[in-house]
Amino acid sequence: MKLFSKKWIKSKSPRKQRKYRATAPLSIKRNFLNVHLSKELKEKYKTRNMMIRKGDKVKVMRGEFKNTIGVVEKVSITSSKVYVDKVRISKKDGSKIPKALCPCHLMITELKLDDKKREAVIKRRAK
């Protein structure tokens, strides 16, 4: 197993970018879960993106489920994936399972604001 390098700055090589994302500690992987806000939310909170959380309402912008609007069921920091309630794939036996989505393919349309930490982040970013 390769160790994470704190000295790595950037590279055009996809191999090195994948290695950086795969071996990053959770404190850095958390930052990969920032998702763009809709135009209304951008104007309201004066910020372009925000950390996605369970309970946020999102719109899928790319892929097979494009334009699907749903609520976030689960956020996996270790795999940097998001699970949305209306995005499901069917297996051969007929059962449906949630499909993991990349956060870069999503856009937040409605924030879940019943959390003090999220309110603090919004206030801090507004300054």
Q: DSSP labels for 20-85?
A: HHHH--HHHHGGGGEEEEPHHHHHHHT-SEEE--TT-EEEE-SSTTTT-EEEEEEEETTTTEEEEE
Tell which wins on pLDDT, 126 or 82: 82
Average pLDDT value over all residues in the chain: 92
List the domains of the chain with CATH numbers.
35-126 (2.30.30.30)
Q: What is the pTM of this model?
A: 0.87
Q: Is the pLDDT of residue 78 over 90?
A: yes
Give the per-residue pLDDT at 9.
80
Give the per-residue pLDDT at 1.
60
